[in-house]
C-alpha cells in the first residue's frame, strides 16, 4: 500500500486454520474437537512496509504468522511469500525471511556470539564480503562487537534480544517477523531495538511484520495496522488513517482556581462535555464531531483563570482499546 504498483511480497487469500484437538475421555475412548483459529483472512503486504499485527490473546496472530513462515499448513486458502508457498518450500522460503521471538533465542547458548554468527553464515551460505558488510552495518547500529566474544548464556536478556535481532539480519532477509521482540526489556534497550529496525527498514527496504501487545511500539514503528479478532481480520489500514478516522476525541487537561469550580461545572454542563476533576485539575473531553474545540478553548481562557493546559489527541492505544471493546 506504500507503493501500490509494486507487487506484494506477501499475499494471503482466504486463509484458514482449524486445529483438531484430541481429548482422552477414558482408557478406551477419546473425543476430537475442532478449534477454528484463523478464518478467511486476506491481505497483501508490500516490500518495505512495517505492519503491526495486533489482537487480544488467542486471537489468531501467531497461527497466521506461522502459516506465513511455513511452520503451519493452512486448512484452506492460500499464502504466497516472495513468490513461494511457504509451507511447500520451507527451505527456499527460509532464505528470504527471518523470525525473531522475544522469548526464545535461535542462538546456541554454549557458543560465543561470534561463533553463532559464523554458524549462520555457513547455514545461509553468506559470502565473506556480504558477511563483513552486514556485520559492519549491524555494529554501526547495534554495537554487537561489544558482545562478540561472550558466550550467549552470559548475556543479559536485553543484550541477547539485541544480538538475536542482529543475527536474524545476517543473511539480508527480505522479510523479518518479530513476535513480541521487546517483551521484558527496559526502555533504553527497547528504544535501541526499535530505532535499529526503523533504520534497517529504511536502508535495506526490509519488510517488517511485528506482533506485539505493546501499542506504544506499534505507534512508534508501524506504518500499517492489522487487527485480528477471533480468527478474523477486523481492521487493516495505514496507522495515520486510523488516527485520522478515529481520533475525533480531544482531551483537554488544565489547572483551575477552586473558587471557580461551580461556574466551571456549569459551563461544562452547558456545553454538554464529559469531564473529570480532582483537586484543582480538570480533564474535559471534546467530541469534535459535535463540539467546536477552538470556541470552547477560547471561552475557557476568557471566562476562567486557567493554568498549565494540555491538549491530547487519542493515541493508537486509546483507539485500539475502543475497537477491542466494541
Ligand X SMILES: Nc1ncnc2c1ncn2[C@@H]1O[C@H](COP(=O)(O)OP(=O)(O)OP(=O)(O)O)[C@@H](O)[C@H]1O
Q: Provide the binding-site residues for ligand X, judged by CB under 6 A.
A: 19, 21, 35, 37, 55, 57-63
C-alpha cell read off for 194: 526499535
Phi-psi region of 126 (alpha: psi -120 to 50; beta: other; left: phi over 0): beta
Cβ proximity to ligand X, 63 vs 69, nearer residue:
63
Distances from the Cα of 188 to the Cα of 12, 90, 198, 200, angstroms: 35, 36, 15, 18
Contact yes or no for 112/144 (Cβ under 8 A): no
Contact yes or no for 77/40 (Cβ under 8 A): yes
In the complex, least distance from residue 154 CB atom to ligand X, rounded to whole angstroms: 29
C-alpha cell read off for 69: 513462515
- Tell whether the torsion through CA atoms of 213, 216, 221 and 226 is positive or negative: positive
Contact yes or no for 258/281 (Cβ under 8 A): no
In the complex, least distance from residue 61 CB atom to ligand X, rounded to whole angstroms: 4
In the complex, least distance from residue 228 CB atom to ligand X, rounded to whole angstroms: 6
In the complex, least distance from residue 106 CB atom to ligand X, rounded to whole angstroms: 19
In the complex, least distance from residue 64 CB atom to ligand X, rounded to whole angstroms: 7
- Tell whether the torsion through CA atoms of 37, 12, 90 and 93 is positive or negative: negative
In the complex, least distance from residue 202 CB atom to ligand X, rounded to whole angstroms: 28
d(CA 116, CA 106): 9
Cβ proximity to ligand X, 210 vs 252, nearer residue:
210
Cβ proximity to ligand X, 41 vs 165, nearer residue:
41
Name the residue among 105, 127, 134, 107 with its Cα closest to residue 119. Answer: 107
Cβ proximity to ligand X, 63 vs 93, nearer residue:
63
Cβ proximity to ligand X, 36 vs 111, nearer residue:
36
In the complex, least distance from residue 295 CB atom to ligand X, rounded to whole angstroms: 43
Cβ of 254: how many Cβ atoms within 10 Å?
21
Cβ proximity to ligand X, 61 vs 121, nearer residue:
61
d(CA 116, CA 173): 17
Cβ proximity to ligand X, 17 vs 160, nearer residue:
17
Contact yes or no for 138/146 (Cβ under 8 A): no
Name the residue among 174, 237, 200, 224 with its Cα closest to residue 50. Answer: 224
Beta strand pairing call for 224-229 and 232-238: antiparallel
Cβ proximity to ligand X, 56 vs 290, nearer residue:
56
In the complex, least distance from residue 22 CB atom to ligand X, rounded to whole angstroms: 10
Amino acid at each position: 500500500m506504500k507503493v501500490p504498483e509494486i507487487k506484494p511480497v506477501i499475499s494471503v487469500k482466504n486463509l484458514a486454520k482449524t486445529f483438531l484437538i484430541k481429548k482422552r475421555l477414558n482408557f478406551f475412548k477419546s473425543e476430537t474437537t475442532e478449534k477454528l483459529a484463523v478464518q478467511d483472512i486476506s491481505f497483501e503486504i508490500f516490500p518495505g512496509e512495517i505492519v503491526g499485527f495486533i489482537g487480544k490473546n488467542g486471537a489468531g496472530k501467531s497461527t497466521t504468522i506461522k502459516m506465513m513462515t511455513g511452520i503451519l499448513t493452512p486448512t484452506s486458502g492460500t499464502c504466497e511469500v516472495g513468490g513461494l508457498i511457504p509451507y511447500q518450500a520451507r527451505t527456499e522460503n527460509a532464505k528470504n525471511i527471518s523470525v525473531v521471538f522475544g522469548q526464545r533465542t535461535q542462538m546456541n547458548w554454549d557458543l560465543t556470539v561470534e561463533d553463532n554468527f559464523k554458524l549462520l553464515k555457513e547455514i545461509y551460505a553468506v559470502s565473506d564480503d556480504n558477511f563483513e558488510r552486514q556485520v559492519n552495518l549491524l555494529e554501526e547500529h547495534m554495537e554487537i562487537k561489544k558482545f562478540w566474544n561472550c558466550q550467549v548464556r552470559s548475556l543479559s536478556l536485553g543484550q541477547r534480544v539485541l544480538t538475536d535481532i542482529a543475527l536474524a539480519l545476517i543473511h539480508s532477509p527480505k522479510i523479518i517477523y518479530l513476535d513480541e521482540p521487546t517483551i521484558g526489556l527496559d526502555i533504553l534497550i527497547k528504544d535501541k531495538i526499535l530505532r535499529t529496525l526503523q533504520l534497517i527498514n529504511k536502508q535495506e527496504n526490509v519488510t517488517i511484520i511485528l506482533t506485539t501487545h505493546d501499542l506504544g511500539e506499534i505507534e512508534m514503528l508501524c506504518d500499517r495496522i492489522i487487527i485480528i479478532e477471533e480468527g478474523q481480520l477486523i481492521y487493516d489500514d495505514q496507522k495515520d488513517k486510523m488516527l485520522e478516522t478515529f481520533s475525533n476525541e480531544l482531551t483537554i487537561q488544565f489547572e483551575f482556581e477552586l473558587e471557580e469550580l461551580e461556574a466551571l461545572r456549569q459551563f461544562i454542563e452547558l456545553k454538554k462535555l464529559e469531564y473529570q476533576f480532582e483537586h484543582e485539575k480538570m480533564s474535559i473531553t471534546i467530541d469534535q464531531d459535535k463540539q467546536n474545540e477552538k470556541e470552547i478553548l477560547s471561552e475557557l481562557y476568557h471566562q476562567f483563570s486557567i493554568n498549565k493546559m494540555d491538549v491530547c489527541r487519542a493515541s493508537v492505544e486509546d483507539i485500539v482499546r475502543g475497537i477491542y471493546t466494541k
